[in-house]
Amino acid sequence: MPSPDLTPSGNKPRTVLFASLIGTTIEFFDFYIFATAAALVFPRLFFPDSDPNNAILQSLATFAIAFFARPIGAAIFGHFGDRIGRKATLVAALLTMGVSTVAIGLLPTYAQIGVWAPALLALFRFGQGLGLGGEWGGAVLLATENAPPGKRAWYGMFPQLGAPIGFVLSSGTFLLLGALLTDAQFFEWGWRVPFVASAVLVLIGLYVRLKLTETPSFAAAMAREERVRHPFLAVFRHHSGALVLGILIALATYVTFYLMTVFALTYGTSRLHYSRESFLFVQLFAVLFFAATIPISSLLADRIGRRITLIGITVLIFLFGFAFAPLFVAGNLASVTLFLTLGLALMGLTYGPLGTVLSELFPTAVRYTGASLAFNLAGIFGASLAPYAATWLAGHYGVHAVGYYLSAAAALTLLGLWRLRETRNTAF
């Protein structure tokens, strides 16, 4: 029989998909404007140092704080998402992220308040991590738990699209500011604009989400009295194998993305001497391929299976690690464009079905907590230290070592995928 036009909960499919997309778009926009500022702005304004490389490393360390906050956010918001529902928890996560981001845009600099400036920057970066730790898992469940049969990966793809859209908005904003403002204006006040302006996007996201009802899967689980008293403990006691598997499966995705964005931007502008505007423009172009490949892998995951789709893509990421240095340091912008396009296209392919796969590893009663923890713990190992580790490797052993680092991450993900059973037909 054809799939119904309305989900059993009464949520219209268009509303569900837009609500999951707009939330992750906002969250990732907020997250990426910090990443861009960490590479371009914060070393100069919040971490003054006689050695520019040390200032960059200090800034990247602050960038990493959010990844350690994200599992905490996953545990906190996951608890309430599994206990009281997806809708209210998603609203709270979005507010946490939004308030933290606006606060960063209003911070005084090191020249104005001294060491309090980097301390407050770190605090609000921690708040960003808490918000995103709770947002991603809920947005994926909002989509997948409302999906009709046979389309779970396709529905689960929409919150994933928030990542490239948020990145395009972030990079586009910084490019526009660079074109309209002088360097002095940009560093004096221009960099603050995207942080403060994100409040408008947050209000739109809140409006859309407040119109939703609870997902059918969660409502059915509550009707069967399957609520777990302590979801966090239940995940570690009864689903630790699924948790470890999820972390391994997400590892290469994280390493790929943050090498292609934060590390590439930092190294490309500081060591390879490309201008900030030209490199951001090339990244913006390459992210379009990130967005374009997400639907492709999601369709494949629904048609031929999650496991075989992700294994094939991860093998390509493993091989790409050996082409990393030759393409990136070739000395011309055309080669860098190809490098970023290939890397971010692979990122889109691996990212598309990822949320669906992680959500399928856990039962409804602990799904919010389990999927969020797997995704965000992988962020600690795969993303938080990636820009810092890559910068260190490039400085001591050359950019080739960064490529080998990527291939090693892909090998670990292949190990996890080899152990994964096919989840396409998992009951929700």
Question: pLDDT per residue over 205-246, tens digit each?
Answer: 888 888 888 888 888 888 888 888 899 999 999 999 999 999
For the ranges 203-217, 294-308, 315-329, the lowest mean pLDDT is seen at 203-217
Spell out the domains of the chain, with CATH numbers in brackets: 13-419 (1.20.1250.20)
d(CA 79, CA 427): 22
User: How high is the pLDDT of residue 66?
Assistant: 83
pLDDT > 90? residue 398: yes
State the average pLDDT for the chain: 89
d(CA 195, CA 177): 13
pLDDT, greater one: 188 or 361: 361
- Check the CA dihedral 6-10-16-19 and report its sign: positive
Q: Do residues 33 and 173 touch, judged by C-beta distance below 8 A?
A: yes
Question: pLDDT per residue over 326-378, tens digit each?
Answer: 999 998 999 999 999 999 999 999 999 999 999 999 999 999 999 999 998 99
pLDDT > 90? residue 24: no
